[in-house]
A and B are shown apart, each in its own frame.
Chain A
Amino acid sequence: MAGDVEIHEELVLGQAADENAAASLASAAEQVNAHVLHSYGPRVAVAQLDPTDTPALAEALPGDMTVAAARIPKSARQRLSESEQLGLRAFELRSSDEYAEAKANRPLQGAVWDGADQASAPGCAELAAAPSQAPIDEALSHAAIPLSARLSGSVAVGLVLVEGPTAALQFDATERAKVVAETQNGATWLGGRHPVQPVTWRWDIDVIRVDVAADPNAADLEALWRDPAMAALGYGSGLGGVQAYAEDLRRQLGTDWAYVTFFTKYPTGWFAYASLGGPRLVMQYANDGWGPDNIDRVFAHETGHIFNAPDEYASSNCNCGGTWGYYGKPNANCANCASGGGVSCIMRANTWDMCPSTPYHLGFPICPGRLGVQFRGNVSASSTRRWFTHSWPADCHVVWSVVPTTVRSGAAQIRWDVQLERASTGYITYWISITNLTAMQCDIEARYAVLGST
């Protein structure tokens, strides 16, 4: 079933743009009591039938037509016309779980059109006076489900290398591989910072050559090459088209999040930039003075922006306030104001470090509840020994306990005391003093319980 309409539908795909296709399909459908509901050109149609008749329909179809599989290969998709692709995408959207869920939770489900206490139905006059359709970029703000609210689970990345008609605008095979290697590397590092379950990355890689001359004076440097590239992938212009592509990727690849990464040699407004919160980042292959060997770091930095992390380097004019990212935390590691100048971080410098603030911005679980043994040791008879353990995130609520592991019955063996040091804005050091109350050496283990974050 597609959408929430209680009938069974199947997608039929043809191979050839044959003008007799519609008649052939109708004839085959008739043989199995099926009905062609929609056709979007000679190669894409939707048929209504009893689910048990699907194999019979497949058998009855002409040799160049098939009942489509769950996921249409990219090669088959690219052969389709724009309207055929639209029909295909619409059917896929209607078949998705998200669509079914949205339909199951329709606003004003069951309300009568003229219900006095509900939203009004648009009358003819209201329709006539309705504002024109919002520009596509504006429509982004109305997207129902964020594409990149937090860096967790699985992420689809549409990696699009956009080439032009001249050699200077094209990537050679080594450069293409370099882009893939660098983005793979940067993603692996960034996703690997997740403290509980490293992120899984699902890639959809395309090399698109567009027939547009470079124009450094173009009013919109990005749209010049991006829009034709998106058209080649079957999507509309503007960031709305990019968003639609990301949403399709998320649905088709079954990921939690999605965004689109463009690499190009066309002139761009800056060598690397991203939309805060997605849906796209753009990078020049040359990567300015940082060079292609640092694409991974810049890609990781820009992906940080996709997942709502702010810049931390001084000339960004950052400040230590604000509400950023998944938890709405301030930009506490901003180089302009952080205590002691802040610490090394991917959002600040060309490094594989991450400061205490960025995990909050990316939405990592900061203090997942867990139990463990931090250290084991021994304390001499009738003496006190002190240990310290550092770099515990300051927001984590941690409870310590110390237990003897030397067996000796009859009396208490140890007591302990925990003292705290706020070593930096983001981190706590725990000092644990353990006293042996007995006349014999005692082995101990210090246990922690992380209860969550404050």
Chain B
Amino acid sequence: MPSTESTSEILVLLQRGEGVPDHLGTHGRLVHSASSRLFVLELTPGQQLADLTNEPAVRWVGEDPPGDVVEELDDSERLFIDGWLLRRRGKPERPGEGLDWDAEGRHPPDGPTDETR
């Protein structure tokens, strides 16, 4: 599960050369796109993976793409998937959880001369 919140996000890879089907939105909400054919979709409640798998324009849908699918991807798409898989592992307890950005012993983001005051 992606670590921000419990969602039903899945990866969707379209067939090469296929445009995004007009009705893709009925399956879920587009959260991220890594290219013209690789997406993260948040499934609409009640929608199943099989509903998407049966779409002619869809090459593959799921959470962890198999090797033959990965081999089709370009470098950016592979990197996006690596990030997706890493994100799904969750993370250990964060350093400084809940601390103000300028808590003692820490530097806040944004330098002293920034214009974000």
Contact = CB atoms under 8 A, between A and B. Distances in A.
Interface of A: 71, 74-75, 173-174, 176-185, 187-189, 191-192, 198, 200-207, 253, 269-276, 288-291, 293-294, 296-298, 301-302, 305, 310-311, 313-319, 335, 344, 348-352
A315 B102 contact: yes
Interface stretch (B44-52, B55-63, B106-114): B106-114
B32 A188 contact: yes
Nearest to B38: A203
B98 A350 contact: yes
Contact of A74 (B4, B76, B98, B105): B76
Given A75-B74, A293-B91, A344 B98 contact: yes
B26 interface: no
Contact of B31 (A174, A188, A205, A273): A188
A75 B73 CA distance: 13
Given A274-B116, A315-B108, A192 B4 contact: yes
Given A184-B83, A310-B116, A270 B110 contact: yes
A386 B102 CA distance: 43
B107 to A, nearest CB: 5
A71 B37 CA distance: 13
A318 B117 contact: yes
Contacts of B101: 301, 311, 313, 348-350
B32 A316 contact: no
A71 B33 CA distance: 16
A187 to B, nearest CB: 7
B82 interface: yes
Given A315-B102, A316-B110, A349-B101, A184 B79 contact: no
A350 B86 CA distance: 21
Nearest to B30: A200
Contacts of B110: 270, 272-274, 302, 305, 311, 316
A204 to B, nearest CB: 8
Contact of B108 (A189, A291, A313, A319): A313
A287 to B, nearest CB: 9
Contacts of A274: 110, 114, 116
A437 B49 CA distance: 53
B82 A311 contact: no
A164 B42 CA distance: 37
Contact of B94 (A253, A316, A348, A350): A350
Contact of A349 (B76, B92, B99): B99
A205 B34 contact: yes
The 7 tightest CB contacts between A and B, nearest first, are A180-B83, A270-B111, A177-B82, A315-B102, A272-B109, A181-B87, A181-B83
Contacts of A187: 32
Given A181-B87, A207-B75, A272-B110, 19 more contacts: A74-B74, A179-B83, A185-B3, A200-B32, A201-B33, A202-B32, A203-B32, A203-B80, A270-B112, A275-B115, A276-B115, A289-B106, A294-B94, A301-B101, A311-B116, A313-B102, A315-B108, A344-B98, A348-B101
B4 A273 contact: no
A180 B108 CA distance: 22
A177 B86 contact: yes
B100 A348 contact: yes
Given A177-B86, A198-B31, A273-B114, A205 B76 contact: yes
Nearest to A269: B111
